[in-house]
Amino acid sequence: MQVIKARNVHEALPEALRYLLLYGVEEDSRNGKVLRAPQPVTTLYERPRERVIFWPQRDANPFFHFYESLWMLAGRRDVASLTRFVKRMQTFSDDGETFYGAYGNRWRKAFGNDQLMWIIKHLRDDPTCRRQVLQMWHSSLDLVDQVGLKDIPCNLVAHFQINMGALDMTVFNRSNDIVWGCYGANAVHFSILQEFIAAFVGVEVGMYWQVSDNWHAYLPTLETVKDIANAAPDPPYSSPFSPYRDNLPIFPLVQRTSLEIWLEDLEMFMEVEDAALGYRDSFFRKVAVPMVRTHNAFKQNEREQKYEAALREAKLIQAPDWRLAAEQWIERRKARWLKAQDDGVSYDD
Residues recognised as catalytic: 154
Task: Find out whether 82 and 313 touch, Cβ atoms under 8 Å.
Answer: no
CA separation, residue 1 to residues 142, 211, 214, 218, 284 (Å): 26, 9, 11, 21, 40
Task: Find out whether 45 and 208 touch, Cβ atoms under 8 Å.
Answer: yes
- d(CA 329, CA 184) in angstroms, rounded, equals 15
- d(CA 155, CA 71) in angstroms, rounded, equals 17
- d(CA 179, CA 154) in angstroms, rounded, equals 14
Q: DSSP class of residue 286?
A: I
Q: DSSP class of residue 8?
A: S
Residue 223 amino acid letter: E
Diameter of the chain measured on Cα atoms: 65
3-state SS assignment for residue 111: coil
